[in-house]
A and B are shown apart, each in its own frame.
Chain A
Amino acid sequence: MSKKSVVLFVLLALVFVSGTAGAEKVTLRYMFWDQNQQEAYAASIDEFMKQNPDIEVVMELAEWGDYWTKLTTGMAARNLPDVFWGHAAYFSAFVARGALLDLKPLIERDNIDTSIYYQSLLDFWSYEGAQYGLAKDWDTIAFFYNKDLFDEAGVPYPTDDWSWNPQDGGEFVRILQQLTFDDQGRNALHPDFDEKRIVQYGLGDLAGSNMQAGWLNFVWMNGGTGVLDKPYGSKLVMNEPECIEVLQFWSDLVNKYHVAPPPEATVAGGSPWDLFTAEKFAVVPQGSWMLTAGRSIEGFSWDVVGMPWGPKGRYSAFNGLAHNIYAHTPHKEEAWRLLKWLEGYESQKIVAQYGCVFPAIESLVDVFLDAYAGRDPENVAVYTEMAENTGIWPMHVNWNEIFDIIQRELDMMLQGFVDAQTAVANIEMQVSHLLQ
């Protein structure tokens, strides 16, 4: 390089450096997985950027299927979004490995009033005395049902007091049997019903992987503890008789009553949601987060009904998401400002107006329900009733691995290859070394 060009280069470099230093804008990366919530959060973040001109937030959508892989590889590469959505099922693995920022000192410093949130939601994000999130939203489980299929079958719509039991299935199974048809139009109660030629099922989505919206709720409703004795517990409690009974009932729905397809039919090719919207299922358990997706249903009318009452009452998973901050972010303060905004009253109000997820702040639930005035589903408020009873949600530092085993063995049971007793014994055998 000639002397002249060196001087020129240095000058240019100086201009460049001072130029960027003048703006001093911090860019935060924000990662989330649900496209249904994109519009609502974009609106909230726009408002945040207006109030915080020194921060630029880049939203990155990663579909649920890739989301956790992207986060973990991002951690390995020390290249992670600063703020991202957390889920109770994956939180334990991350927090135990020191990937998340403890918010407790910041909450105390800024005097954040945490009493506006549901306490059980806050509890999800505490671990060994630290607090890793506030609360973004909550969700419960209820059943979506296709009104047209009920009408065609001449079955009255399910009422909020419908019930089930593990012995003969009760009213729940009777209703589903009348909604399951073979290719000759005979329902599952017909003496000549051919279970090998079913074209429409009463119930969908019984896969072993569907713990949150599926079998775990029924275990609780039968008086079972759940999967682990307590959050971060080291004892598997699926061998309780109440649990095995329910798992067998769950298998009976497929293999004895033939009112639901085996998991393979809804995992391999076509999600339960696709099959519900294609009118192959009359009823599917769905989390309240699916309400937004339900808006795009065309061609039939639908509604929601609470889960049927079990022998020990009615229980639902009560989960929620929160925003987490990456422990090694270079922009801790800015990330905390964003998190504070997102979990705060103003932002949750903006998001609630879009009606995609129930706000974690109790006083805003009505804003969310107003978003559904005059449109399907009529009975949307049932999701708030489902929040009344919940059981112990399993959390464990090796949860990903434990759950992989549980879902595989339960699928084998639901496919009819083993009974519930054997499935649970197989699970126990394989998870024991992971629980210590």
Chain B
Amino acid sequence: MARKMSPKRKREAVAGYLFITPNLLGFLIFQLVPIVVAILLAFTEWDLINDPIWVGFANYRNLLKEPVFHLSVKKTLYFVVINVPVQSMLALLIAILLNRSIRFQNLIRTLFIVPWVSMAVAVGLTWTWIYNSQFGLLNEILTRVGLDKIPWLAHPDWALISVIVVNIWQFLGFHIIVFLAGLQMIPREVEEAAIVDGATPLTRFFKVTLPLISPVLFYDLIVNVIGTFQAFDLPYAMTGGGPGNATRVYNLYLYQKGFQFLRMGEASAMAVMLFIIIGITTAFFFRVVGRRVNYDLT
């Protein structure tokens, strides 16, 4: 038998549940239910128009046999491997610079935030203009200074990296905020003690700053990996996956499968597999990196 609660505690508990109800309802209706439905749909063939037909594991078998599916996995891994370290390190560097009192601090911070709060499709379309191989701003500048045009989005070897650069730039602001918050949690006394002990700025960074913000670094890494695996808007708006299949990342292919090719069962199977891939990657980071994280701030 559960312990009896005092009337006061009971009221508090009810209030507490009431407070989380909107969020919980939102999660149940807009997240949990679709997730369960997607897991079930992954075992069916569904064209969105007729009723789903149960096909067991056929969707998974078909996908694993499909060259374009493997290609989209590769493109996505490439995206993650380039995007995550570059973006996080760049953000950390900028956050450290912005953490000092410099001139126009607020203006500079705002400039980094603006792309993050802008609509990804608008950002993507703007960049297609900048990148346009024939009439774009970048190539215009290159030819003005006497260089050859670069096929930013036109060449399969360039297109993905061009998209990644925009992605890094767009979400830099978010990661900067995360790191700034972490940096400002470091007690001043610790820094001052290090200075008194005669530590060089470099030593201070590696021996004081880095260990003290390691929980924030770890959080950012996980969030970044999960987010990058799900990259969709920019490739969708900038290249539609082309040229050829050069930028057809996982989620873009998933979207096309479901809504363009009317194969919602296969699209659901892809979603389930992505869920598993992200789960494994995150678990890996928790085991390998998570242990080295220092949660003791004092």
Interface residues of A (CB under 8 A from B): 68-69, 72-73, 75-76, 93-94, 97-99, 183, 196-198, 201, 261-262, 264-265, 267-270, 275, 280, 398, 400-401, 404, 408-409, 411-412, 415, 417
Do B50 and A268 have beta carbons less than 8 Å apart? no
Give A201 to B133 CA distance when docked, in angstroms: 14
Q: Specify which chain A residues have a CB less than 8 angstroms from the CB of B155 in the assembled complex.
A: 415, 417
Q: Which of A269, A411, A415 has the most CB of B within 10 A?
A: A269
Query: Chain B's nearest CB lies how many Å from the CB of A107?
Result: 23
Please measure, in the bound complex, the distance between the C-alpha atom of A256 and the C-alpha atom of B241, giving whole angstroms: 26
Contact string against A for B residues 127-151, beta-carbon threshold 8 Å, 1 for contact and 0 otherwise:
0111111111000000100001101
B265 to chain A, nearest CB (A): 12
Complex Cα gap A398–B257 (Å)? 12
Q: Is the CB of B134 within 8 A of A268?
A: no
Given A72-B262, A197-B143, A264-B153 in contact, is the A269-B49 Cβ separation under 8 Å?
Answer: no
- The 5 A-B residue pairs with the shortest CB-CB distance, nearest first, are A269-B128, A264-B154, A265-B134, A76-B48, A269-B129
Q: Which residues from B are CB-within-8-Å of A264?
A: 132-133, 151, 153-154, 242-243
Residues of A within 8 A of B260 (CB): 68-69, 400-401, 404
Q: Is B47 an interface residue (CB 8 A)?
A: yes
Contact A269 B136 (CB under 8 A): yes
CB pair B262–A269 under 8 Å, yes or no, is: no
Chain B residues lying within 8 Å of A275, measured Cβ to Cβ, are 135
Q: Which residues of B contact A404 (CB under 8 A)?
A: 256, 260-261
| Minimal beta-carbon separation of A197 from chain B (angstroms) | 6
In contact, B261 and A400 (Cβ under 8 angstroms): yes
The residue from A69, A97, A411 contacting B49, defined by CB atoms under 8 A apart: A97
Q: What is the CA–CA distance of A93 and B133 in the complex, to the nearest angstrom?
A: 35
Interface majority SS (helix, strand, loop, mixed), chain B: loop
Interface size class of chain B, counting residues whose CB lies under 8 Å from the partner chain = 35 or more
Chain A residues in 8 Å Cβ range of B262: 72, 93, 97, 400
A-B contact pairs, 16 of them (CB 8 A): A72-B49, A72-B259, A76-B264, A94-B49, A97-B262, A264-B243, A265-B154, A269-B129, A270-B128, A401-B261, A404-B256, A408-B241, A408-B242, A415-B151, A415-B154, A417-B243
Q: Which residues of chain A have C-beta atoms less than 8 A from B131's C-beta? A: 268-269
B264 smallest CB distance to A (angstroms): 7
Q: Which A residues are CB-close (under 8 A) to B136?
A: 269
Query: Known pairs A269-B136, A400-B262, A404-B256. 9 more at Cβ < 8 A?
Result: A73-B48, A97-B262, A265-B154, A268-B128, A268-B131, A268-B132, A269-B129, A280-B135, A401-B261
Residues of B within 8 A of A69 (CB): 259-260
Q: Tell me the complex Cα distance, A197–B134, Å.
A: 8
CA A401 to CA B50, docked complex, whole Å:
19
Q: How far is the CA of A261 from the CA of B133 in the complex (A)?
A: 9
Question: How far is A415 from B156 in the complex, measured between Cα atoms in Å?
Answer: 10
The smallest C-beta distance from A160 to any residue of chain B, in angstroms, reads 30
CB distance from A56 to the nearest CB of B (A): 27
CB distance from B263 to the nearest CB of A (A): 8
- For residues 202 through 240 of chain B, which have their beta carbon under 8 Å from a beta carbon of chain A? 238-240
Q: A interface, by DSSP: helix, strand, loop or mixed?
A: helix
Contact with A along B152-181 (1 / 0, CB 8 A): 011110000000000000000000000000
Complex: A35 Cα to B32 Cα, angstroms: 38
Chain B residues whose CB sits within 8 angstroms of the CB of A73 once the complex forms = 48, 259
For the complex formed, measure the closest distance between the CB of B289 and the CB atoms of chain A, giving whole angstroms: 37
Known: A76-B264, A198-B134, A265-B134. A98 touches B49 (CB 8 A): yes
Q: How far is the CA of A265 from the CA of B152 in the complex (A)?
A: 10
* A94 to chain B: closest residue by CB: B49
Given the contacts A97-B262, A198-B134, A412-B243, A268 and B143 also touching, CB distance less than 8 Å: no
B128, B132, B135, B151 interface centre (most CB from chain A within 10 Å): B135
Instruction: Pick from A265, A400, A404 the residue with the most CB of B within 10 Å.
Output: A265
Q: Does B40 contact A (CB under 8 A)?
A: no
The complex places the Cα of A189 from the Cα of B238 at a distance, in Å, of: 34
How many whole Å from B194's CB to the nearest CB in chain A? 50
- Docked Cα-Cα span, A5 to B125, in Å, equals 57
Within 8 A of A (CB), among B228-281: 238-245, 256, 259-262, 264
Provide the residues of chain A in CB contact with B47, threshold 8 Å: 97
CA–CA, A265 and B128, complex, Å: 9
Contact A408 B134 (CB under 8 A): no
Of the candidates B132, B240, B242, B261, which one forms a contact with A269 in the assembled complex, judged by CB atoms under 8 Å apart?
A: B132
Chain B residues with Cβ under 8 A from A409's Cβ? 244
Q: Is the CB of A97 within 8 A of B50?
A: yes
Distance of B221 from chain A, by nearest CB (Å): 31
Question: How far, in angstroms, from A21 to B105 measured CA to CA in the complex?
Answer: 65
Question: 1/0 contact trace for B113-135 toward A, CB 8 Å?
Answer: 00000000000010011111111
B243 / chain A contacts, CB cutoff of 8 Å: 264, 408, 411-412, 415, 417
- Name the residue of chain A whose CB is nearest to the CB of B129: A269
- Report A134 CB to chain B, min CB distance, Å: 22
Which residues of chain B are near A72, meaning CB under 8 Å? 48-49, 259, 262
Q: Which residues from chain B contact A270 at a C-beta distance below 8 Å?
A: 128-129, 132, 135
Q: Which residues of B contact A261 (CB under 8 A)?
A: 134
**Interchain CA distance A404-B261 in the complex, whole Å:** 9
List of B residues within 8 angstroms of A98 by Cβ? 49-50
Closest Cβ of chain A: how far from B191's Cβ, in Å? 47
Who on chain B is nearest to A75 by CB? B49
For the complex, what is the distance from the CA of A64 to the CA of B47, rounded to whole Å?
A: 21
Closest chain A CB from B233 CB (angstroms): 14
A265 with B135, Cβ < 8 A, contacts A401-B261, A409-B244, A415-B155 known: yes
Across the interface, B238 reaches (CB within 8 A) one of A93, A268, A398, A401, namely A268
Shortest CB-to-CB span from B72 to chain A, Å, is 13
A264, B129: Cα distance in complex, Å: 11
Across the interface, which residues of B come within 8 angstroms of A398, CB to CB? 261
Pair A183/B244 contact, Cβ less than 8 Å: no
CA distance A201 to B134 in the complex (A): 10
When chains A and B are docked, how far (Å) is the Cα of A167 from the Cα of B149?
29
Give Cα distance in the complex from A160 to B155, angstroms: 37
Inter-chain contacts of A417 with B (CB < 8 A):
155-156, 243-244
A310 → chain B closest CB, angstroms: 27
Query: Closest Cβ of chain A: how far from B94's Cβ, in Å?
Result: 28
**Least distance between A211 CB and chain B CB atoms (Å):** 16
